[in-house]
Amino acid sequence: MIALVVGIVFIVLGVLGLIFWFPSFVGVLKGSLPPIFLLSGLAALALGISQARDKMAAKKEEEEMAAEEAKSEEKKGEAAEEPEKKEGK
């Protein structure tokens, strides 16, 4: 119940503050937008670089696994051919 009353009081004070100090509010808002845009841009750039690196690493790992799988298939094929050669002699 106390939280409800405190919440209503804060909402009323916030609305009154916006009404009486609106020009100051606009000034603070104008001053805070450039740093917010800058930090958001840096975060988006870092995220993009991280995703690109992850994608490249996954592609490289996939290629390595495919090459390793091909090598193991070749070894299996060679191992299967050796007994056939021995039987033929």
Return the domain boundaries, the chain.
6-73
The pLDDT tens digits along the chain (89 residues) read 999 999 999 999 999 999 999 999 999 999 999 999 999 999 999 999 999 999 999 999 998 898 888 888 777 766 666 665 555 55
| Residue 24 near residue 17 (C-beta atoms within 8 A) | no
pLDDT at 82: 62
Q: ∠ CA(21), CA(15), CA(22), 5° rounding?
A: 20
pLDDT at 86: 59
Both ends of the chain: CA-CA distance in Å? 95
0.75 exceeded by pTM = no
Can you read off the two tokens belonging to residue 37?
């845009």
